[in-house]
Structure 1
Amino acid sequence: MADQALTDARTAPVAVWQMLAGLKGDALKEWRMAEPRNRAPVADRNLDLPYPFGWYPVLLSSELAVGEVKPLRYFSTDLVVWRGEDGAVRMLDAYCRHLGAHMGYGGRVEGNMLECPFHAWRYDGSGVVHEIPYAKVIPPQVRRPCDRQWPVTEANRWIWMWYHPEGAAPQWEVAHVPEASDPDWTDYDIQEWYVWGNIQNMAENGVDAAHFKYIHGTATFPDYKFEWNGHRRAAYVDAKLGTPQGEVDGRIAYETVGPGQSWTRFTGISETLLVACLTPVEKDKIHARFCFTQPKSQAEGPMAGLARAIIKDICKQFDQDKVVWDRQKYLPRPLVCDGDGPIGMFRKHYAQFYADAAEA
């Protein structure tokens, strides 16, 4: 019976699954976003690492219309983002350089500039004040760009921001994933979480071969093939996937560009692309959004039920990982044994994304 249970994806052979038992519908959605109880402080979990630099997704392109202003908070920083009349997206620190009003609340777009709601100072995308309606002279300090710049771009139906703790310019471009804009593929099915942990711990999960069996209940340990190429990383995972009908050969192929861009292609049961959008809010809080798209021929045809089931199962696996991530401690010198996967190589690769690698 034990062998049979391990090949049936409906069976919960590990304790993590029992913690999720009974969570369905709205209760599951609430759990995904709620702050967990009994979570140790940042310092106690060694999560006071610097944020890794790179491109990170902040909003769906469709969530910011021309002339619209929105507040954001990422990287422990309050931000304001707007779309000018020219259609371009711009971002600044949220607080007006005049008297500190948060421009994400009540600010408005005038042409391509952002107008502060407090005294109508108007900013361009670099933070230069071009107009003060009641003043004859603009102070010289605000006729210069802000020290902190936030480059933004759009790709894969998302708005991306470049983060670097020292304000360095972007070092690579956001990769375009063709399926994301292919008319033969579905609109995004988006699922959302807050993970109360560290983005490096989450990324390390991708090279941890052993956890698939003990967290997700796969019938075997995955057969990884890794590629390490500068700021890019890829892996191809062949694994036996448990289903009610028994084992099925499947492949998971994922790619990452820097720490903030990742996508995964699932094949074997139903073809699925997952665009994973993970962005740090605070040192122990990650905003996670999974964007799924599938060929319309599968998602809207006779295989529609199976296509939906694949998305549900991928989200279930993320839920299982989240149980650990929400309270996980970062160990700078972990005890690693054979079978764990190339965790040491991963950390060497990831260290390049810290402005001062010695701090990580």
Structure 2
Amino acid sequence: MTTRASGERGPELPYPSGWFCLALSRELAPGAVLTRRLAGEDVVLYRTRDGQPHAVRPYCPHLGAHFGAGGTVEGRNLVCPFHRFAFAPDGVCVATPDGPPPRARLEHHTLRERNGFLFVWYGHDGAPPGWEMPDTSPPGAVPTASWATDVRAHVQELTENTTDLRHLPVVHHTTVWKADGPRAEGPCLRTYLRLGPDGPALLRKIQWDHTFLQAGMGCLRIELPVPALGGVLRLWVMHTPTAPRRTRLLLACGCTDDRQARSTGTALLKRPVHRAVARSLLWTSVRKVQEDVRIWNAKRYEPHPRLAAGDEGIGLYRHWVRQFYPPG
């Protein structure tokens, strides 16, 4: 892994390769065009009228207009706002208002739509995907509540947090009752934690099982079974590098009944309850994350941390993330 010159906040890490969430699926309706940042550059997302999402580099190859500044979707084509040159889903220019199209093609990013999220691949020097983005949850398990913020820290600083068990009682007043992992499985990392609030004995009886699945540095999914609802709460934490030492952090929650509903009516009755529970988990999580953001925004990256007993997860994590950086 290579780093740039050291500064006041430590060495500057390069962008990691991987799949990064640029939008929720519901943000990109058919015909919509969005501009998002990834690794210091704009990415334009659009969805054709038949529902297929695409991600392209932002500038028209004709005279450089930005598709995110007035570009439109007509049928399956993305249309430039400057001269109305139209580009098909494969990137080829297929029409102009007043003559045959030139030999021109848009540059595409590799995109995957999973569980209500749109992921775009970032590879060093344009390298193609080295692994596939897994379905992080069963079909139909999608977020119903979300929140996002920008953090002044490298994406690794945020994703490393899951393996730092020592900060939980200090920052979040949370007790770790049981831990298993992290276990590395190629580009994924799995962890199990039983957590509960710190405080009086009666409060400490509240314990929740958390199952973590981290896919690269971009996507973390946390599952919490809710036996009273016969379902599972899911919290997705998405980390997207937008600029040097800048990360877009997205939290999204959903609650699903993982048992077969007895009837359609029963499922419809449960839906408002599930949405309310998901909102509650979201805002509880937001409060916890804001405690971390205060520290992330001010801390520096330590490339050679002086780890203590109990920090083994951080050491494993530092070794695991090397696969996402250029060799060197």
- TM-score bracket for the superposition, by shorter chain length: 0.7 to 0.9
Give the number of aligned pairs: 307
Shift of 1:113: 1.9
Shift of 1:250: 2.5
- Residue 57 of structure 1 is matched in structure 2 by 21
Alignment of 1:333-344 (within 5 A): 333-344=304-315
- Residue 33 of structure 2 is matched in structure 1 by 69
C-alpha separation between the residues in 2 aligned to 1:105 and 1:85?
Answer: 19
Query: Helix, strand or coil for the counterpart of 2:157?
Result: helix
Flag structure 1 segments of 5+ consecutive residues without an equivalent: 1-41
Flag structure 2 segments of 5+ consecutive residues without an equivalent: 1-5, 258-268
Structure-2 change in CA distance of 1:314 and 1:298 (3 Å): farther
Give the % identical residues.
27
1:169 aligns with 2:128: yes
C-alpha separation between the residues in 2 aligned to 1:343 and 1:136?
Answer: 58
The answer to whether the 8 Å contact 1:179/1:273 transfers is no
Shift of 1:195: 1.4
- Residue 266 of structure 2 is matched in structure 1 by none
Of 249, 255, 275, the residue aligned with 2:207 is 249
- Residue 284 of structure 1 is matched in structure 2 by 245
**Bigger shift: 124-133 or 153-162?**
124-133
Query: Helix, strand or coil for the counterpart of 2:153?
Result: coil
Structure-2 change in CA distance of 1:335 and 1:255 (3 Å): same
Structure-2 change in CA distance of 1:163 and 1:126 (3 Å): farther
- Residue 265 of structure 2 is matched in structure 1 by none
Structure-2 change in CA distance of 1:300 and 1:179 (3 Å): farther
Shift of 1:154: 1.0
Structure-2 change in CA distance of 1:344 and 1:58 (3 Å): same
1:130 alignment partner AA: V
**Larger strand proportion, structure 1 or 2?**
2
- TM-superposition CA deviations, 1:228-249 (whole Å, max 9, x none): 1111110011234336742023
The answer to whether the 8 Å contact 1:194/1:287 transfers is yes
C-alpha separation between the residues in 1 aligned to 2:35 and 2:209?
Answer: 39
The answer to whether the 8 Å contact 1:254/1:265 transfers is yes
C-alpha separation between the residues in 2 aligned to 1:171 and 1:86?
Answer: 29
Query: Helix, strand or coil for the counterpart of 1:346?
Result: helix
C-alpha separation between the residues in 1 aligned to 2:163 and 2:150?
Answer: 22
- TM-superposition CA deviations, 1:95-147 (whole Å, max 9, x none): 22222221111111233221111112222345433333345572x5x2x563x
C-alpha separation between the residues in 2 aligned to 1:293 and 1:213?
Answer: 26
The answer to whether the 8 Å contact 1:209/1:222 transfers is no
**Bigger shift: 129-138 or 61-70?**
129-138
- Residue 327 of structure 2 is matched in structure 1 by 357
Q: Compute the TM-score of the two structures, normalised by the length of structure 2.
A: 0.83
- Residue 273 of structure 1 is matched in structure 2 by 234
Structure-2 change in CA distance of 1:308 and 1:116 (3 Å): closer
- TM-superposition CA deviations, 1:311-347 (whole Å, max 9, x none): 4332221111111111221111111111223222111
- TM-superposition CA deviations, 1:259-308 (whole Å, max 9, x none): 2122001247975210112211112221111111124688855x998776
C-alpha separation between the residues in 1 aligned to 2:189 and 2:128?
Answer: 21
- Residue 185 of structure 2 is matched in structure 1 by 229
C-alpha separation between the residues in 2 aligned to 1:128 and 1:48?
Answer: 38
C-alpha separation between the residues in 2 aligned to 1:305 and 1:107?
Answer: 37
C-alpha separation between the residues in 2 aligned to 1:187 and 1:78?
Answer: 25
The answer to whether the 8 Å contact 1:189/1:291 transfers is yes
Pairwise CA RMSD of aligned residues?
Answer: 2.8
Query: Helix, strand or coil for the counterpart of 1:335?
Result: coil
- Residue 259 of structure 1 is matched in structure 2 by 217
The answer to whether the 8 Å contact 1:47/1:284 transfers is no
